[in-house]
Chain A
Amino acid sequence: MIEPILSIHNLVTGFGRQIVHQDLNLNVQKGEILGIVGGSGSGKSVLLKSILGLIKPLSGSINLLSQPVVPYQLEASISRHYGVLFQGGALYSSLTVEENIIFPLREISRLSLPLCKEIVGLKLSMVGLPAETASKYPSQLSGGMIKRAALARALALDPEILFLDEPTSGLDPISATEFDELILNLHSLFGFTVFMISHDLESLHTLCDRIGVLVNKKLITDTIEKIIQVKDPWVQKYFHGQRGRAIFSNPLH
């Protein structure tokens, strides 16, 4: 058995008296695309933040890239191997797109500036942005372009695992489909692992190898075909509602 790239063991998180996750377990294998769904307030973002070490769990252990995650103490030597795409892009507003992508390269590696600039051009073209975007500021970009630029920044260091927080939210269906294809393309090129929080049934359907559902403070993970048969009222409503039926009732998938 190969060691999983991300493993969570008996994770308990909460704020004050409110428990968000109770004994949550998860293993993510190298190269797979995992989608996380759950109702509002079910703790999707809390789970992501716990994995990234931005929140201190009450108990349990998280191993990312064979290293235990220590909250608030993020080592560049580990974080350089993963990329995060935040919901709003989180591009630094005082820097141009080019400087945004160079930032992690210059902070973490000792690469020379000309090479960094070449990497910027390369990553921008990978995410489908023209080279002219490089000199623009985030405030001059549309929502879809911000997501692409932020993805380019997340890819700057060739990550082994990519965390996506609602990558297609706020995008029109055409941009969302394009974004899904982009992730799928890059995944086949780089072979990285993807951990994705999403509510977009379409993109869950096209992208994910497995789906994790956050219900009752726990995570149920399985392939799409099996997840949609789970006997849970929320799961049933989610995947067999009007929107879900149109996408998941297709027996070919």
Chain B
Amino acid sequence: MSISSAHKNDQSACYSIEAVEGASEFLYTFTGCWDTDNIGKLSAISFPQHSHSPYEVILDCSQISAVDTAGALLFRDLIKKLLTQHIPYSFVSCSVEMGKVLELVEDFYQEIPVPHAPPLGISRILIGIGKGTEGQLKEFLGLLSFLGQVMCQIGNLCLFRKKFKFISFLSHIEQDGLKALPIVSLLSFLIGVVLAYQGITQLARFGAEIFTVNLLAVGVLREVGILMTAIIVAGRSGSAFTAQIGTMVLNEEVAALRTMGVDPVDVLVLPRMLALILVLPILGLFADIMGLLGGAFMTYVFLDLSFVQFTTQFKSALAPSTFWVGMVKAPFFAFIIGLVGCYEGLCVRSSAQSVGLHTTKSVVRSIFLVIVIDAIFSIVFAQLKI
């Protein structure tokens, strides 16, 4: 609110205070615009101590052209300071409008409670660790109970107690499988190229370049092909699951499903997870082929190894189980990516920020779990001597 808005767009409109010390009084003369645009960084009107005591403060407002709530708050603070120091004050030619604004500010003034200051030092760190641990534990339990829910619904599905959302299943096969093919193929090809190049340069020192093919066969088929695929799919589809389901939670679509007696796990989670379990091994197979092609390309360029020679060496490097050791991991990776993606989506609560937070969590957590599972498989295979 302004007393005279005509001055608002005036560049020269500015504020100033002049304090003149009299015999037993201070005369403050205020001029110009006391509004949000003008008062700038000024956070309080200062007043110097008078040399004589007692004294009076006179506030001359006759030359003030505009005051808004921000300006009025400054006056309120000044008056409050004068009151607490028991200094008498009086306004001179304060306009009706300005009086109104001052009154308005006084009427509605309320202080914002200062939030509890966080504890300092060692206790703060301990509290942080405690809360973090509790949060992680809770989320782990949540994921575990969600796993139970999903297994129940898969059981129901197997016993033909529930209808399966076949169309949604197909559409997810397209979304998460078919459309991921180009990027998975390209990246696997490049990984094959990189792996072969490193193999060639290192093994050349021993004159054992030919064993690059063995390195490729074991490396790509057992580990890299399927791991790369899982990581790409976690970034691509896992995040999409979380964002889709999370937005549906925000939009109360999930609540709507529940009110219709439909379990969101049936409609939203199972088609996604089962589609992923089906397509991830296929994507992995593609990744293996492309990775080997990338390697074969490099050995052809650098070692002059023909395709036939490559295949002969490749066959000699393979144990019968090598391919399946890699491939058997794919459905487990797919299961964990789908599970975490959908679980984080259903955890979204009430704000756009929450969608972002859970999408990040979903990707980080599913990649983490994929690598953990991969490590477990390695140990199991080592024990079984495969």
Residues of A whose CB lies within 8 Å of any CB of B are 80-81, 93-94, 98, 105, 108-115, 117-126, 130-132, 134-135, 137-139, 157-158, 160, 189-191
Contact = CB atoms under 8 A, between A and B. Distances in A.
Given A109-B37, A158-B69, A160-B5, A121 B43 contact: no
Contact of B112 (A134, A160, A190): A134
B115 A115 contact: no
Contacts of B354: 139
Contacts of B69: 119, 122-123, 158
Contact of B351 (A105, A119, A134, A138): A138
A122 B105 contact: yes
A139 B350 CA distance: 6
A126 to B, nearest CB: 5
B321 interface: no
B74 A115 contact: yes
B160 interface: no
B108 A126 contact: yes
A115 B37 CA distance: 13
B41 A111 contact: yes
Point out which of A124, A131, A158 has the most chain B C-beta atoms below 10 A from its C-beta. Answer: A158
A111 B110 contact: no
Q: Interface extent on B, as a size class?
A: 35 or more
B206 interface: no
A134 to B, nearest CB: 5
Contact of B70 (A109, A126, A189): A109
Given A189-B1, A189-B104, A94 B36 contact: no
Given A135-B112, A189-B104, A190-B1, 17 more contacts: A93-B353, A111-B39, A111-B70, A112-B42, A117-B112, A120-B112, A121-B112, A122-B109, A125-B110, A130-B110, A131-B113, A135-B115, A139-B349, A158-B1, A158-B35, A189-B1, A189-B100
A157 B111 contact: no
Contacts of B42: 112, 115
14 contacts: A80-B36, A109-B70, A110-B40, A112-B41, A115-B42, A115-B43, A115-B70, A117-B112, A121-B111, A122-B105, A125-B110, A131-B112, A135-B112, A157-B36
B347 interface: no
Contacts of B25: none
Given A94-B351, A139-B349, A190-B1, A112 B43 contact: yes
A224 to B, nearest CB: 27
B232 interface: no
* Closest CB pairs A-B (n = 4): A112-B43, A93-B351, A139-B350, A125-B110
Contact of A122 (B2, B41, B108, B349): B108
B122 to A, nearest CB: 26
A157 B68 CA distance: 9
B352 interface: yes
B6 to A, nearest CB: 11
Nearest to A117: B112
A9 B102 CA distance: 39
A108 B37 CA distance: 8
